[in-house]
Amino acid sequence: MLERSLAEFRQLRFCYSYGDLRPDIYAAAVPLRRGAHSEILVMNCVVQSYQIRSGDLEREIGPRLAALAESLDGGVR
């Protein structure tokens, strides 16, 4: 499962969860680094399951988070 998630992250540039920890909580996240040797931070968006449709994390929220991270710091590769 971890290897599949890492491969997905490399392709999409973000990760997402449909209720993996809690069934009513969905989330998308991207790593964010300020400078070449700084800590890796995480920027995320967490929503209640009833607030979005299935697929919104992959199609809308995740790509927007990834684009924002890229514009702020060049993203994490």
**pLDDT tens-digit profile of 53-68?**
989 999 999 999 999 9
Judge residue 59's burial from the number of C-beta atoms within 10 Å of its C-beta, 0-12 exposed, 13-18 middle, 19 or more buried.
exposed
Give the type of residue at 27.
Answer: A
Classified as helix, coil or strand, 64 is helix
The domain ranges of the chain are 2-73
pTM over 0.85: no
* Fold held by 2-73: Beta-Lactamase (3.30.450)
Please state whether beta strands 15-18 and 25-33 pair in parallel, antiparallel, or not at all (unpaired). Answer: antiparallel
pLDDT truncated to tens, each residue of the chain (77 aa)? 778 888 989 999 999 999 988 999 999 999 987 777 778 889 999 999 999 998 999 999 999 999 998 888 655 55
Question: What does residue 57 show for φ and ψ, rounded to 5 degrees?
Answer: -65, -45
